[in-house]
Structure 1
């Protein structure tokens, strides 16, 4: 096992695609695939399940991802200890919840790598900060907004739900439907008032904040939940997802920053956000 293999593995894990990882690592796809197979053979496990459109990590893949991230970080710190110290640049970035672990990890890693000496502090979006990743509804006076991602929302269903037989969900289907409320959530703020207006009463079983917990409850059969259609959502086999008709359940995520500020760190972050929006 070597650091090259671990870097390739992390790229595949975060991209959800061997071809996309090869482009990110600037290496031929066959070379990356060969290195990945060697890593699996050495560990004696399968790290990914190959799908028609990309890959999804196995439990062993999830386990290795945590170790690989720490090893790569430690190696980078080791190398940095033998170089001339650089000036520390503190940057406070406010983040709303439910942004998507994989894509945010990639964005923050690329931002950190682009600026030597960066000391990145992740804070709540209402705290004092240099920039914020938020929805347009949270924009403050004096801030500019650069869109990064546009998410559509789907309804996640427990395995075996009768609604899984339908290609899409109608609003009438929410009548007495076991439902997991997640707040804050842009889609919930659109859906719930419409259900009230139509006299449709869902059976709310839980009120939580994070997508991860919502999906865990859906997988356990507690109820259904609205979730953003992240890339890896289609690859999950523990929940079914269906679009909801009659309403546009969507959100835009972007970088909010002071209009009159032009620091090197902010300029580099804007560039990384632009790259992320083009992927």
Structure 2
């Protein structure tokens, strides 16, 4: 069935006048009349009753109208389906585990505003991604690294530990303390170097495969550990203390290959964050349980 004839029908039905319908459809009145007769012939039903002032719909015309109206509306939506694609850019990004939510939120919020029309595909870190958000030590050798933020590690002490009586902890205070370690952690070697200063011996109660498991053992009260400041925010069962020793931190940023710079969205991200630092509101932390 010719959709043009259906549009003629809707116009005549709504205008109740062949002349006005012809003007609305930008055709002559004879074309409208011929179109309606053709449509009635295909249906085998009269759709309008003609009189001196115009036309009135028949019972069949009234029944036909809502179906045709809906059909034409759906056809209009179908024809415009690919005209206004909401997302014109796609970025495949890998995001490392254990990164603070607040920092990730700020990055994706700013990056989405910058790229305007972007669809994100978020995966584990991999060479297959356009770009990776990760700790410097985890980047691939051939990739370029653009730092976004530095995050200090803090000394975490479980509730009930006598060390909590002190405001500042020295390396001497950690002598013979029971420690929870995460060998896969990017800063594990930093931690061992600090603890081995002065030849002190520390006991290891657990070696964990992730920061999350390290946090679990800490909250269980099994020992002390160093963890990223924002990573531990909001949890309970322990407190943090200032450590009077070498700074212990990690650097997080974007890692990308040179070929990724051929993609405009990646180039825009790199150019922007090369000039603008990622700002995180220090008052946006949610947790207070581990603060003294």
Q: CA deviation at 1:107?
A: 2.3
Corresponding residue of 2:171: 171
Q: Is 1:252 equivalent to 2:255 in the alignment?
A: no
Q: Is 1:116 equivalent to 2:117 in the alignment?
A: yes
1:111–1:272 CA contact under 8 A, matched in 2: no
1:218–1:225 CA contact under 8 A, matched in 2: yes
Mapped partners of 2:196, 2:139: distance in 1: 28
Across the two proteins, how many residue pairs are aligned to each other?
Answer: 197
**1:112-148: CA deviations, max 9, x gaps?**
5645351413222x44221122333444455332221
Q: Pairwise CA RMSD of aligned residues?
A: 3.2
Corresponding residue of 1:23: none
Mapped partners of 1:91, 1:108: distance in 2: 11
The change in CA–CA distance for 1:130 and 1:246 in structure 2 (over 3 A counts) is same
Corresponding residue of 1:243: 242
Corresponding residue of 1:214: 214
Corresponding residue of 1:55: none
Q: CA deviation at 1:150?
A: 0.8
Q: Is 1:99 equivalent to 2:96 in the alignment?
A: no
1:92–1:123 CA contact under 8 A, matched in 2: no
Mapped partners of 1:210, 1:101: distance in 2: 17
Q: CA deviation at 1:90?
A: 4.1
The change in CA–CA distance for 1:245 and 1:187 in structure 2 (over 3 A counts) is farther
**Mapping of 1:50-69 within 5 angstroms?**
none
SS in 2 for 1:193: helix
Q: What TM-score results when the alignment is normalised by the length of structure 1?
A: 0.58
**1:139-187: CA deviations, max 9, x gaps?**
4455332221111111111112211111222223333322111232243
Mapped partners of 1:153, 1:117: distance in 2: 34
**1:10-47: CA deviations, max 9, x gaps?**
xxxxxxxxxxxxxxxxxxxxxxxxxxxxxxxxxxxxxx
The change in CA–CA distance for 1:211 and 1:101 in structure 2 (over 3 A counts) is farther
**Mapping of 1:129-278 within 5 angstroms?**
129-140=129-140, 142-196=142-196, 198-230=198-230, 233=233, 236-259=235-258, 261-270=261-270, 271=272, 277-278=278-279
SS in 2 for 1:155: strand
Structure 1 unaligned spans of 5+? 1-80
- Rg: which structure is higher? 2
SS in 1 for 2:206: strand
The change in CA–CA distance for 1:87 and 1:105 in structure 2 (over 3 A counts) is closer
Corresponding residue of 1:6: none
SS in 1 for 2:167: coil
Q: CA deviation at 1:246?
A: 2.4
Structure 2 unaligned spans of 5+? 1-80, 281-292
Mapped partners of 2:110, 2:279: distance in 1: 15
Corresponding residue of 2:44: none
Mapped partners of 1:209, 1:109: distance in 2: 31
Mapped partners of 1:229, 1:216: distance in 2: 16
Q: CA deviation at 1:210?
A: 3.4
**1:26-73: CA deviations, max 9, x gaps?**
xxxxxxxxxxxxxxxxxxxxxxxxxxxxxxxxxxxxxxxxxxxxxxxx
Structure 1, 110-119 or 173-182: larger mean CA deviation:
110-119
Mapped partners of 1:157, 1:117: distance in 2: 43
2:155–2:227 CA contact under 8 A, matched in 1: yes
Q: CA deviation at 1:225?
A: 1.7
